[in-house]
Amino acid sequence: MEKITSLAKRRGFVYQSSEIYGGQNGAWDYGPLGVELKNRIAGAWWKEMTRLHDNIVGLDAAILMHPRTWEASGHVENFTDPLVDCKKCKSRFRADQIPQENLAAKKCPDCGGELTDTRKFNLMFKTHIGPAEDTASIIYLRPETAQGIYVNYKNIIQSNRMKIPFGIAQIGKAFRNEIVTKNFIFRTCEFEQMEMQYFVKPGTDEEWFAEWRKRRWAYYEKLGIKMDHLRWHQHGPDELAHYAKDAYDIEYLFPMGWRELEGVHNRTDYDLGRHTQFSGKDLQYIDQDNNNERYIPFIIETSAGLTRNLLMIFCDAYDEEQVAEKGNEDDWRTVLRFHPDLAPVTVAILPLMKKDGLAELAQNIRAELKEDYATDYDQSGAIGRRYRRQDEAGTPFCVTVDYQSKEDHTVTLRFRDSMEQVRVPKAELSARIRQEIKVYKRTK
């Protein structure tokens, strides 16, 4: 994880938040390459969950919601972690994440000091809206994006004439006052979620639950993720969230071990039932194709962390490869084997020399490719070094402009993964890259 964190910072993917002030725990900033990568991951998910489904639509709900939302959802009452502190070294632990014998003996796993009693700690960030800090103005930063979807479900049925089964997808920020934030961007206080809520007829929920598990697995396969680094974990009765009848996590083998990446949950009619009760509004679905049958839909939720997906994709892409045997550090290259659809930069254009009109020619090629691809341009240093810099950024294609280019209007196209190079007519470059992206298969 240290190598990942250091590469991410060095190449401008992720920086510590407020670093010049010593950093802010649980918060991270996404640099030039990081924001591109994050946007592409979000784009891939959005395409998969909305564009490829005729019956799933998008939403972007506000982070600040009426505080009753969180009473109805059960978060005010139930969204807690058990917390213990060490009286001696002042370390803070989640009681469910330290060895049970330490908890029973009230002994700190770090220093052996005495632990406090376990107390419940609500993870929602609470703040005030308006100038008066009285209880009437309490408001929460949403701990999940899902509730914004539930409170809009009737609006969307009416405005978009949705018929069950249908889904609503959303990507957005969520906030949790996590007790333990470590492992880089894995668990943070401010993060982004990509959630889809699928509204189904009661009785068909188990079938849809199985179907969405299948679809979400296939999604990661399509992104070229190492499938032996993914596995399912079904929640036991003591792990199930207060709203869930059944839940499976897709876990990824991160450098620190197997950890949750995404959850697929059968939330039953819990959420809409509770919002009916707390808002007094009738949230039943009226099935006009079936004698106006009325029911509260069941909800199948797929809930993935966007920032956690970014960490997974970064770890999955990271590779160190020996490319020579000269006995020096250049024998090795660090390469991020991102799927070309996700890579922050798709094509880098590199003139072999700055002089003799090669730089101008390369700039012209860049200008042509810019409309279709995220491009970079680099003219400084030896060409081998420049290739390595692009490998480290995960750029799948490099275009080299050399003296031959001036004569026969061809360029060199270099492939990141194989390091192979082919000569391509300049006029066919864009189409060739498009084709290469289409047929891309990760081989290493």
Smallest distance from the beta carbon of 141 to ligand GAP, in angstroms?
12
Residue 426 phi, psi dihedral angles, 5° rounding: -55, -40
211 or 260: CB nearest ligand GAP: 260
177 or 363: CB nearest ligand GAP: 177
CA distance 268 to 266: 6
In contact, 315 and 198? CB cutoff 8 Å: no
Smallest distance from the beta carbon of 264 to ligand GAP, in angstroms?
10
299 or 352: CB nearest ligand GAP: 299
Residue nearest to ligand GAP (CB): 305
Smallest distance from the beta carbon of 136 to ligand GAP, in angstroms?
28
In contact, 15 and 36? CB cutoff 8 Å: no
Smallest distance from the beta carbon of 220 to ligand GAP, in angstroms?
13
61 or 348: CB nearest ligand GAP: 61
Cis peptide before 67 (omega within 30 of 0): no
CA distance 305 to 323: 35
Smallest distance from the beta carbon of 171 to ligand GAP, in angstroms?
12
191 or 285: CB nearest ligand GAP: 191
176 or 337: CB nearest ligand GAP: 176
Interface ranges with ligand GAP (CB under 6 A): 144, 146, 176, 178, 187-188, 191, 193, 195, 260-263, 301, 303-305, 307-308
77 burial (CB, 10 Å; 0-12 / 13-18 / 19+) is exposed
108 or 311: CB nearest ligand GAP: 311
Smallest distance from the beta carbon of 94 to ligand GAP, in angstroms?
12
Smallest distance from the beta carbon of 187 to ligand GAP, in angstroms?
4
4 or 261: CB nearest ligand GAP: 261
Q: What is the 3-state secondary structure (H, E, C) of the chain?
A: CHHHHHHHHHCCCEEECCHHHCCCCCCEEECHHHHHHHHHHHHHHHHHHHHCCCCEEEECCCCECCCHHHHHCCHHHHCEEEEEEECCCCCEEEHHHCCHHHHHHCECCCCCCEECCCEEEECCCEEECCCCCCHHHEEEECCCCHHHHHCCHHHHHHHHCCCCCEEEEEEEEEECCCCCCCCCCCCCCEEEEEEEEEEECCCCHHHHHHHHHHHHHHHHHHCCCCHHHEEEEECCCCCCCCCCCEEEEEEEEECCEEEEEEEEEEEECHHHHHHHHHHCCCCCEEECCCCCEEECCEEEEEEEEHHHHHHHHHHHHEEEEECCCCCCHHHEEEEECCCCCCCCCCEEEEECCCCCCHHHHHHHHHHHHHCCCCEEECCCCCHHHHHHHHHHHCCCEEEEECHHHHHHCEEEEEECCCCCEEEEEHHHHHHHHHHHHHCCCCCC
Smallest distance from the beta carbon of 126 to ligand GAP, in angstroms?
17
170 or 346: CB nearest ligand GAP: 170
261 or 350: CB nearest ligand GAP: 261
193 or 410: CB nearest ligand GAP: 193
Smallest distance from the beta carbon of 350 to ligand GAP, in angstroms?
37
Smallest distance from the beta carbon of 414 to ligand GAP, in angstroms?
35
Smallest distance from the beta carbon of 218 to ligand GAP, in angstroms?
18
